[in-house]
Each structure stands twice: as C-alpha cells, then as structure tokens.
C-alpha cells in the first residue's frame, strides 16, 4: 500500500531531526529568546529542507548528486561561515530575560535562515539518502505518488520533533534566571562556532 511510504517518511523525518547538532542548538536558543513560535518556525525551515532532500534522494536525481559532489567545497564554505556568523551573534547577544514578541523577530527570516542552513549542508541530503537506502526505501524514480507520500511524511516527522522541542523549551525557559540564560547563550554560541569551523575545514 502506498500509504506505508508516508509512515516510513514520518519515522525517517523524526529520526533525522532528533540528534542535537548546531541546528538543534540554534532552535533551542531561538525558543528561549523568542518564544515557541520563533523556535517552531525555525524548525519548520529545517523540516522543509529535510523533505526536499528526501525527495531528491528517493527520486534518484543523479544530476543533482553530481552537482553536489563537484560543488561540495562551496557548500562547506557557505554553511561553515553561516554557522560561525550565527554562533558569534548568539555569543555576543544579551538576553533580556523576557520573550520577544513574534512581530519584532521576523518569523519569515527565521524560517528562511534555517532552510538555507540545512540546504547548504551536504550532509542533509547524503544522510537522508543513506537512511532511505538502509530502511528499504529504494529508488522511486517515476513513482511520484510514493515519493510525494514519503517526502510529506519526512516533513511531518521532522516538524513533530521541532514542535516537541519548542514546547519543551517553553516549559523550561521560565526556570532560567538572567545569569542562566546568559550562560546558555555563551555556551551554545561557542559550540555553534565550533561546528562552523568543523564544517568549514571539512574535518
């Protein structure tokens, strides 16, 4: 049954989103400083990139993968510099202790920045390709219904994780006093900068 591909995608999307790397830290930081909407919209940007990457993986677009391989250095440079910039911005920011209103933040910009970050990371597509292959999701080239169900499942699975993460941070956020929030900003900023150097130099 075709619907099986949706549930496979749901599980794949959730599993791919769970590991707390630089993107997870960014979403946590954004939720603590800007509230649930800010963190969730940021996560949805990542979920969109995950869904597109899954679609590319299962449709077997060899041309895109050839392009990705030849331009991998530039992808690393863009993603690495972007992470360093975001990490530095977080490190130097001063938390107010109060959640900023969504109107002041710019939700569209939050979504776009995380989408760009996920899509410029070659690991996003390559890891999804490996997972899809490992979980018995073969090349679906020509089977567009199955591919659409799988990619929509990946989106909703990834989005579910970001919803749970944003909700959890909203619960724990008020428990942080100003010094605690400042420490979170400093530590997460340094870790994200470290990830940026890691990606930049392809270690």
Within 10 angstroms of residue 176's Cβ, the number of other Cβ atoms is 16
Percent of the chain with pLDDT over 90: 9
Within 10 angstroms of residue 112's Cβ, the number of other Cβ atoms is 14
Q: Give the residue-averaged pLDDT of 48-58.
A: 85
Residue 45: predicted pLDDT: 92
CB 190 within 8 A of CB 45: no
Q: Which of 138, 137, 131 is nearest to 158 (CA)?
A: 131
Residue 102: predicted pLDDT: 47
Side-chain-side CA neighbours of residue 146 (13 Å) = 16
Percent of the chain with pLDDT over 70: 66
CB 146 within 8 A of CB 55: no
Tally of domains in the chain: 1
Domain carrying residue 76: 3-200
Q: What pTM was computed for the model? A: 0.72
Residue 66: predicted pLDDT: 60
């Amino acid at each position: 049954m075709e619907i099986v591909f949706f549930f496979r995608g749901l599980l794949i999307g959730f599993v791919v989103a769970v590991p707390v790397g630089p993107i997870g830290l960014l979403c946590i930081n954004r939720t603590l400083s800007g509230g649930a909407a800010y963190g969730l919209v940021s996560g949805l940007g990542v979920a969109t990139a995950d869904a597109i990457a899954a679609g590319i993986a299962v449709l077997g677009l060899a041309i895109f993968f050839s392009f990705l391989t030849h331009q991998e250095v530039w992808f690393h440079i863009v993603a690495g510099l972007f992470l360093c910039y975001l990490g530095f911005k977080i490190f130097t920011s001063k938390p107010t202790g109060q959640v900023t209103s969504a109107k002041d933040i710019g939700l569209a910009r939050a979504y776009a920045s995380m989408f760009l970050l996920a899509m410029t990371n070659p690991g996003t597509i390559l890891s999804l390709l490996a997972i899809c292959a490992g979980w018995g999701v073969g090349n679906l080239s020509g089977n567009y219904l199955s591919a659409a169900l799988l990619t929509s499942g990946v989106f909703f699975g990834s989005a579910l994780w970001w919803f749970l993460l944003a909700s959890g941070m909203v619960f724990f956020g008020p428990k942080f006093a100003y010094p605690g929030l400042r420490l979170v900003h400093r530590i997460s900023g340094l870790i994200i900068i470290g990830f940026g150097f890691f990606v930049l130099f392809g270690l």
